[in-house]
Structure formats: C-alpha cells, structure tokens
Chains A and B, each alone.
Chain A
Amino acid sequence: MNNPALDQLKQWQQQWQQAFQKEKARILVCAGTGCVANGSLQVYQALKQEVEARGEFVTVDLILEEEKSGVTVVKSGCHGFCEKGPLVRLEPSGVLYTKVKPEDAAEIVEALINNGEPVERLLYRHPVTGEVFAQENQIPFYRHQKRTSLLHCGVIDPENIREYIVDDGYQALIKAVTTMTPEEVCREILDSGLRGRGGGGFPTGRKWEFTRIEEGPKKYVICNGDEGDPGAFMDRSLLEGDPHRILEGMAIAGYAVGADEGYIYVRAEYPLAVERLKNAIAAAHEYGLLGQNILGTGFNFEIKIKEGAGAFVCGEETALIASIEGKRGMPSPKPPFPAQSGLWGKPTLINNVETFANVALIIRQGADWFRQFGTEKSPGTKTFAITGQVANTGLIEVPMGITLRDVVFEIGGGIRDGKKFKAVQIGGPSGGCLTEEHLDLKLDYDSLLSAGAMIGSGGLVVMDEDTCMVEVARFFMNFTQNESCGKCVPCREGTKRMLEILQRAVDGEGRPEDVELLQDLAEAVRDGSLCGLGKTAPNPVLTMLKYFKDEYIAHVVDKKCPAGVCSALKGYYIVPEECKGCSKCARSCPVQAISGEIKKPFTIDQDKCIKCGACVSTCPFKAIKEG
C-alpha cells in the first residue's frame, strides 16, 4: 500500500541509522536532574575535551555531512540509579560508571579508545556482597527490571529527534493516522488492557472511547505531568529523557479521540523537563511531525505547555483543568467527567505521562505484545521510585505483578545496614503502608487496593525496624493537610484534625479515646471528600491503624514509642546496679535533671529531662538506658 508519510519516516530512519553506525563508540552522560545536580555537566565537558584531544570527537551532524567516524559524547536522560550519579554509560559495551567526577574523564576515555579493561574503581559494587559489575544490565538493580516505557531514558539523546526516529519513533503515530480508524486505535488501547498510570488505574482505552464518542468539533488532550508525590520522579524522568515518546503518545490520542490540540501540564520546578519539551515540540514541528497536516496525512495536532505552580491537588484532573483555564486549582464534582466537559467546557482526554509513554509502543507492536508483561488485569510494566532504608534507591520499571519482595530485596538490594524490614509506604501520601506479611503480594492495581494501599504514581518508601509508623502517618498527613485545596469540608477540616490527633500521639499527649476517634474520622474523610486527594488522604492512617494498631496504642495509652523515634515519648533512666555514682552524668546534663549522692546510684528527674541524650554518651559504665 502506498504510504508516503511512512516512507518519509523510514527514509529518515535509514539515513540516520547509517550515520549512527559510523560511531566507533558512544559515551552517554546522564543529564537528568539528579545527575546534573551532582555535576554531570562538568563530567560531560571533561569527557568531550578528552575525546577531542585525541582527535576522535564527532557528532551525528559531522557524520552526516562529512562521513566522519569517531566517538560521540552525548547527554542522555535519567538512568534511574540517581544515588550513584553522575552516571556514565558506554556503548556498545554497556559499561556503566558510577559517581563519575570530571577528573576521571581521561582514564575513562583512555580505556575506551584503547579497548582496555573498564576502570574498576568506577564500576558498581554491591553494598552487601562487594561483587563488582561492569555491564549495566548485570547490576541487580537493573537485572530484575523490565524497561519498556523507560527504554530510551539514559540510552538516547533526548534533545535529538533523530535518535528517536532511528529507534522507530513516530512510526506508531503515522501507522495510526494512515492505517487505522480512530475507533480501531481506541480498541487497540482497550485490548492492551493499559490502565491509567497516574494512580487510579482506570482502563485507558475506555477513557479514550468515552472522549471519542462525544460530539463536538473541538476536543482536547491533556498530559498530566503534575507529579506531586514526594520522592516520585518518573514523569520528570520520562519528560526529560524521552520527550518525543510523550508527544507521539499524545498525538495518537488526539487522532483517536478527535482532538487537534493538546496541553502538557508540567510543574514549573521541572525546568529541564520544560526545556526538553520545548525543544522536542520545536523539532517535531520542524520535521512536520506535529502541527498542521502531519507528514501530509491531513491530521493536525498542536501541543502547548502549561507550567503548574506546584500544588499537589492540581494532579487531580478537574483541578488541573481549572488551573490551565487560569482559575484557582480546585477540583469540581464528577460527573461531568472531563470526557464530557473538560477544558473550556469541551470534551477532554486527560492521561498521565507514563500512560502516554506506553501508547506508541502498543500501537506499533500491538496489544498482545503489551499483554505479555504484567498480569491479566494489570498488564504491562510500572515504574516505581524506590527510596528509603534500602540499599539501592532510584527509578525502576518492573512488570506488574512482581512481588514486593523482589522489588525490595532483589532490585533494592535489601535493607541498609543489616536492619530488619518493617514496612513500605506505597503510592505516596495517598497510598498506604504494607508490612512483612505483604512481601509476597503481587504488585498490581487490584491487589494493592485490597490491601488498603494503591499504586498511586508509584512512590515506594522502604522502612526499617527503626521507623515509627505513627510518625510516618503523621508525616504524610502533614503533607496532605498542607496540600488540601480547602474546598470540601471533610478534607479541609478532617485532615487538619487527623493531623492534630496524630501530632498529639507523637508529642506524648495522646488520649485513649483517640484510637476510635481517629478511625472514625479517617473513614468519614475517606467517604465524604470531594476528590481523590481527600478520599485517599486517610490511607496512611487507616493502614497504620490496620497493621500497626499496637504501635499507635503504645503511643496514646502507654505513652511509649516502640521504635524509639518520638522524642517526647523517649525516656532515659539509670540502671542502679550499674551506676557507680561518679556524677559524670549529672555534670553533663544541661538542665540539671540528674542528681544523687556520690558513690550511690543517681536518678533522672523525668519532668526536667529534655531527652537530649548527653548523659548516655558521658556515662563510662553504660548505666544509662533509653526506654
């Protein structure tokens, strides 16, 4: 079949592929926000200079124009292993260097050009076993992952549209527009079983179909990049590391639902993502892959960027739409759903960044390809931002249905410093905590929901035995309380009061009746709130009450913090049998809370004690204990 648009795309692909084959080697320096903050741009400059000094430096343009060959040095998107950054990856060998400094550049380039052994001191070393790994894909952190939506992140140059096109970029869009009806596109997405990656898990294909069937000449597509969970950064990584993938996904969605205009709502505090998106939109326009009459197909699609001011609630779709319209970011009741009446009152499709990242893959490779990953009801992969008391932290992508144990102990490398696993908080402040009994739980939408947590945007905080779950619940409640928009009563007033009750508990002022009050209030807030933020805000509290009720009771009834975290509940006492009466502790106490007779056991006045712990370290006989 004659398909001039596809032919054009393939012609570019072939032409540039040949050029890339002239690369002798490629040095990819991570230029994601994390690595940049750790100085990766200086590393990039140093590596470039080293390669130039050896007369080997080329760029893709040079290859294309002058048929030169040599080594390219490229800034890539995020590799996900941010805590080991700045990261440098070599192609084609697949070697990954960690914590690279500009002064390592010479050594790296030397080894690369002379085909020598990789620089061992820069390779990843397992924190527990000490084993050294040269290839990225051998490192346990990567080995257990299945990177599909993050496939390009850290591998291609996000600022060069050619690299995306060489890797089959924009073919899905042209395929959809030239060979499929909008209905077929929606059907394909529905068949793939893709569910909203922003947290709710609503079937994406159904959302598309709802928007498609709405009448009207004007519809919108919105990409929700208002990533608000503390610690989660998958949207940022995707936008920074593979912006064209998102643009392509949105354009396909535009075709499927009948929209010719899209907005990307991205946080203003992601300046790099904004910049890369702007570059990508301009480049796509230049190649006729966005704008009017895309590659002569007659399909029009424009994308605009809207920078958000960072309110967590603007991740809620109706609040996000209000924010784009220039109004206060407050949610409104659904129905009407955005598919019926969204941006400027027009039918609007709104999906998360990661959802859009999957679209082109599904259209190009088919629903069945997608369904080979994950579970029956939650197909595909999911990114998680794993952090906390775990050996390896960073951004990972795993097939849905992987067990929590695999994530924490294989990819995450287990708990730091040989401590015991206690819980994970999954799904950010809207999620809940899971315990040891859930370690073999399969991570998918439905099983998490039934355990009281949710995938949310994919934040995953691992906690060890030294964590106080009451304090964790208080921490998250403080977050949601601050981020409540103040519109509906249960969320505005309820989160404030839940925080008050939890604050009391950690301050040692909890009341026995609080146990019932907190449960009752949390359930009412969950039931009664207007939007997802309020409905899920009690999750950390409810799961804490479900799985760690004893710990809470210990706080409010026994006035003890079993994890020894809450300073108001800590106490120091002197074991009389071990005290020699030397008075050293009394002299070190800044508030004169310790007294006694020399050579007789001393005592601590609990009313005066400020729990600073100074006495503990001064006692030569270790007679002062905490408890």
Chain B
Amino acid sequence: MAEERREKEKDIVRKRKENAVVVSQEELAEGIFSMWIHTEAALSAAPGQFISIYTSDDSRLLPRPISICEMNRKEGNLRVVYRVTGKHTGTEQFSRLRKGDTVPVIGPLGNGFPLEKAQGKKVFLIGGGIGVPPLLELAKQIVCEKKQIVVGYRDKHTFLKEEFEKNGTLYISTEDGSVGTMGNVLDAVRENALEADIIYACGPTPMLRAVKAYAEEKDIVCYVSMEERMACGIGACLGCVCKTVEKDQHSNVHNRRICKDGPVFLAAEVEL
C-alpha cells in the first residue's frame, strides 16, 4: 500500500499558493471593490466556490476567503467583489492593489452551487449585501426555465445591478426603500408576487435563516452559501464549522466544515 502511494505521489499535481497578477481594480460603491486577477484558479473555478487571498504583510497570516464573482476561463481571469472591512485590514490592503501587482492566492476552494438542479425549473437567486457577488457567475451559467434574481442592499449604493440585469430578471430591495422594494429580499419576493421551485441564496445569516424558513413554508429546495471565520480554508483546522441536523460522516458529530464541505449546503441539512 505504501509503495503504491509513494509511486502515486510522484505524479500528483499539487495545489499551491500562487502569485496571481492583478488585471484591474475599481470601486463599485462605497467600500465595495471589484478586482480581476489572472490566476490558475480561473481555469477550474465554479460558481459558489471561493479563493483564499493573502496579504503581502506577514504579520497578517491568515488568508481572506472571498467568493468568486465571475470568471473568464479563456483569459484565465477571475473576479472578486469584496467589501473593505475597515482601516488597516487585509481587504483594505487588497483595495490598494493595482494592475500588474501580484497577490498570493489559493483556489478554487470549497464546493459551489449545484447548477444541474435548476434545469427546467423556476429559480430564485437570492443575495444580500456582500453575499450578492457570487450570484453573478451563477446567473451567467445557470440553465433554467425562469431566472429571477432578488438582491438586497442597505441603501442606494447598489453594485453589479446592470450586470445582473443582463443575466435574468432583477428585483431589488433596500432597507431604506431608496431602490426597489423597501425592506428585505423576501419583501421583494412578496411585493412582486414571485414564485420559484428552487432557491440559491448567499448573504448574512439572518437573511439565510429567513430564506430557509420561506423555502420550508413553500416546500421548495433551497441551497445556501454560508460564511464563518476561517483559518486554514482547506478543511484541516475545524475553525469554520456549521451545525448540521444529522451527524456528519467526516466529523462524526453534528458539525460540517464550511470551507471544505461547503460553503454551499442544502438549507434543510444545516442549522441556521
């Protein structure tokens, strides 16, 4: 057994931390940045996966897990849209990167949205806040009968609006009512009398909780992309677990790793 494995080791193409090259950087809305990078990760990435991005400052050791917003396989480019979380943060440092700069990344990581489940169905793509960006590549790739994109923002500082409009029917909610429906994403669903057979959602936990409850009430399948503080990003450290309804096979307890087993889960299988 050991011999066999050792032989195999010679042929393994290992994953690695790679220096991606920044292609472009722009601020889409206040504190929300869009960065295209040239990276090997673009070649195999799927909607809903994420990449770990490292700062160039060795006193900040941990990678920042950021969901993939869009990719261009032909050019080997990948786009992340992220929020700068404050002064002196890793994300602030990323926002200062310019075309030609390098940035260390690992990816793609995690499991994305199951696209095949949408075939022939009426679909909701529901996103809230900084959970909106990963829905863009999903909207571009998903094949379904009816593509209804429902996204919620805090106020009039929306982002990616025009790009979503090109890839489905867009409904917007804002907390202050400045754009679209006043309230949350489910208020927008109700106001527009929308219906769906399957939901794909990404956003803050309170939103996911409400979407899960809505899906249960309507008895429809719902996938959620979850978020948690991560350390390794590859499933080793057990930092980013979520609670599961059933005992998980890997952990042997009611926990699953968001980075490795997720970040996309069937809503019915996780506690929110």
- Do the two chains bind? no
Which residues of B are in contact with A by a Cβ distance under 8 Å?
none
Which residues of A are in contact with B by a Cβ distance under 8 Å?
none
